A and B are shown apart, each in its own frame.
Chain A
């Protein structure tokens, strides 16, 4: 048993994901109270080179051909074995397509408590989780003796988890990874898009508040009048009203326009994490408590349908 904080590094096709650095920053906040080290846990195959800028005291590297690319089954087996042997104070995962496939399964398999959607830690080892679309925070003592945690972005900047020095690397034994039930066949590249929203200076974003497909025209008209590009949050894309290439959010694009004009978007954490690099966010929403107003520079509390045509008309008159 140790008081170390383990961070399961997430990487995809040779690229370490930002959430890994966010978690390392969280682990650094947690480790003084726990009284242990920050240990980056890297699973892969011939992937040691990825461990170069982790703000960790140590890297544990698990190498196996079956870990070359992420699959839930292989990661679960390797990590269950590691956690069973080392029994660290906590293991941090991303609340992502990688971490969320593993953490809950390990909680049930190993009988260890799980804290989900943790945004930050306090200096006295409490977790603060973000639930209900960012409207509620839940705080508690980090469960003992070993806690599994999934983390969301927002509490720490990834830069806080980067270091110029490379921490020492130790290899850790990998158990037999056999009879795997999940295998990767191939990666499918994103469809090539007519526009790359991550490079556009002015984005007109629509969310659930746009209500139906016909209303997308209103956003299009506004975008045309001002010279911007329309993009959307997940509910709009899932309805098929706009193509996936226009998705802003956790599973879509990160954007950094000069101006992000958000209409009918409440500001769920999965969306917000992808727009924080925007120059100026302007939000239109009927709900005065919508979380989008907490990150927007300017806000309009109004039904978007009352506003959008008037605004489009005025823009047309000016241009």
Chain B
């Protein structure tokens, strides 16, 4: 089975976010690009399926700073093939990303394409369903379990409140992964270093990055909260004493 995992890199939200001088976009000059956390789950699910059914896992990522690390980490987790898509993806939206990746993924003869259900900077839809439509494949998102047999996949889709739907989806398909069946595995840095020596990254050129399908952004801003918490200050002992008082006042102690 050919499994392709599409990875999107996103600015790390732990870093301070600033708006650029134009006022309508993020200033990404010093952004730290990390793997979208749901894509990490998609990768884990892909590796789990390979362990269960055999086959290969191909990981495709856009050429942004940090892409090599992400790809070699995937290799250390036992991904077979690493592809970096060349092009200026810094400001590329998901419509452009999906079109560019579909041109490349089309040639990979994938049975199953996995990607994260969403990313925190999805302003024009999510990469998975956009890609599915470019490839004319079915799409199901919010998936937290995948089994494959007889040319079709049986998936578990999450609804609010813990309800799950079991669905059958014809292969090939694109699935938006919410959570892998087990937490993404940890790999030691030494294993990643070893992967850097033993595996290689193929570089493929993106076709034209066509962003049509997004709305124009007039301005971006940081939300001003209607209210802010009353901050309790002091040493841990002082804060604890105040909290104990508060719990009593609120009738839970």
Contacts and interface: CB of A to CB of B under 8 A. Distances in A.
B133 A104 contact: yes
B132 to A, nearest CB: 6
A31 B34 CA distance: 40
Interface residues of A, number: 99
B215 A137 contact: no
B110 interface: no
Contacts of A114: 124-125, 213-215
Contacts, number: 274
Contact of B231 (A254, A259, A301): A301
Q: How large is the interface on B (under 10, 10 to 19, 20 to 34, 35 or more residues)?
A: 35 or more
Contact of B223 (A116, A137, A190): A137
Which applies to chain B's interface (DSSP): helix, strand, loop or mixed?
Answer: mixed
A306 B236 contact: yes
Contact of B250 (A96, A137, A143, A258): A258
Contact of A108 (B37, B213, B236, B251): B213
Contact of A132 (B13, B132, B217, B218): B13
A101 B218 contact: no
Interface string A225-261: 0111000000100111000110100111110001100
B167 interface: yes
Contacts of B141: 72, 97, 100-101
Interface stretch (A32-40, A81-89, A162-170, A310-318): A310-318
Interface of B: 11, 13, 17, 19, 26, 37, 41, 94-95, 98, 117-118, 120-126, 128-130, 132-134, 138-142, 154, 156-170, 173, 176, 178-179, 182-183, 212-223, 225-233, 236-237, 239-241, 243-244, 246-247, 250-253
Given A138-B219, A282-B243, 13 more contacts: A97-B142, A105-B129, A105-B132, A107-B125, A108-B130, A108-B213, A126-B218, A136-B222, A138-B123, A188-B165, A238-B41, A252-B160, A313-B240
13 contacts: A97-B142, A113-B215, A131-B121, A131-B122, A132-B17, A135-B223, A136-B26, A137-B221, A141-B218, A227-B252, A228-B252, A298-B229, A314-B237
